[in-house]
Amino acid sequence: MARVPQVHPSSSEAYAHLGLLEARQERYEDAVPLYRRALDLDSRVPGLRLNLGLALFKAGEMKEALQEFYPLLKSAPPSSSDMQRLVILIGMCYYGLEEYTKATPYIKEAAASDPQNLPLRLTLAHSCLWSKQYQCVLDTYHEILMLNAESAEADMLAGEALDELKNYAGAIEQFAPP
C-alpha cells in the first residue's frame, strides 16, 4: 500500500483509494492528507470532497469539514439525498462546535425531512435549548411525544424551556412524577 504513491505519484485516484482505506479503518487523521493530495492532483474525482469532509468530521475537525460541505451543499440538487445528508452534516458540525444558533436551522431542516427520526429531534431540542430558542424546544417536544410518549429526556428539555420562559408551574408539572 505504501508503494502506490511511489509507483503512481500523480494518480489522484490512487491517493483517494488510500484515503478510503484509512477511513475504513477509522484512521481519519491519516485519511485527510491522502484525500487532500488527491484533490490537489485532480479535484474532479467523484465523491472525493465529500469523503474528505467526512474524514474531517469524524476526526473532530468541524470547521475544516464545514469548508468542504458548504460548496457541496450549494451544488447539490434540491431535495436530493445528497442535499439532505449535507444539511445534517453541516448542522452537526455547528452542533459539535457548540454554535447552536447556527446548528438549529440545519438540524430543523434535517428533522423535517426525516419525521420518524427521534434522536435527531432530541438533538434539535438540545440545540434549541442551548441557543435559547425556547419555543423551538416546546414545538420539538410535542413532535417527540408523537414518536415516543414516554420520553423522559423530552420532558426534561420541555421543563427546562418552561423554566427559562418563567412558566414555573408548567416546569414543575414537567418535572413532577405522573
pLDDT digits (tens, 9 = 90+) for 45-83: 889 999 999 999 999 999 999 999 999 999 988 888 899
pTM (2 decimals)?
A: 0.90
In a domain, 87, yes or no: no
In a domain, 130, yes or no: yes
pLDDT at 7: 55
- Per-residue confidence at 10, pLDDT binned at 50, 70, 90? confident
Residue 96 has pLDDT above 90, yes or no: yes
Q: What contacts 24+ positions apart, CB below 8 Å, involve 34-39?
A: 37/5, 38/12, 38/13, 38/14, 39/12
Give the integer Cα–Cα distance in Å for 126 and 22: 33
In a domain, 89, yes or no: no
C-alpha cell at 28: 481519519
In a domain, 50, yes or no: yes
Give the integer Cα–Cα distance in Å for 23 and 33: 11
In a domain, 84, yes or no: no
Give the integer Cα–Cα distance in Å for 136 and 164: 13
DSSP H helices, the chain, are: 4-7, 12-24, 28-41, 48-58, 62-75, 81-96, 100-113, 118-130, 134-147, 152-164, 168-175
Domain limits for position 102? 94-173
Instruction: Pick the closest to residue 101 from 130, 140, 121, 122 (CA basis).
Output: 130
Percent of the chain, pLDDT > 70? 94
99/156 same-domain check:
yes
The residue among 20, 45, 75 that closes a domain is: 75
Q: What is the CATH number of the domain that holds 148?
A: 1.25.40.10
Say how many domains are in the chain. Answer: 2
